[in-house]
Amino acid sequence: MRVAKFSLPEDARFRQIHEGHGTFLQPGERKYVTPEAIRGTCIVGEPDDVVAQIQAMEQAGIREVLLLPPADTQREVFREFDQQVMPAFR
């Protein structure tokens, strides 16, 4: 198991587990980021796909979503989301 090989003691491993959290992908984690994992845990696709995914989540009882794009593209992603997705919910 990858976490068991971390250099910090067990009670401090969270520092290594969350290194780069929300800002970059650790090289050792790249193999876990597959198209199936992305589709299963993220809202992805063209604007119409994103709208449909959010509407399905809403029907299932989810009342909020979190956008956490990479730091270097945040402004662009937030702007596109506002312009291309949010009109369906106004």
Q: Where are the domains of the chain?
A: 1-33, 45-90
Cα–Cα distance, 9 to 62 (Å, whole number): 37
Q: What is the pLDDT of residues 33-83, one digit of tens each?
A: 999 999 898 999 999 999 999 999 999 999 999 998 888 899 999 999 999
pTM higher than 0.85 = no
Kindly report, residue by residue over 14-42, the tens digit of the pLDDT. Answer: 888 778 877 778 888 889 899 999 989 89
Q: In b/e form, how buried is each residue of 44-54, taking b as 16+ CB within 10 angstroms?
A: eeeeeebbebb
Q: Is the pLDDT of residue 3 over 80?
A: no
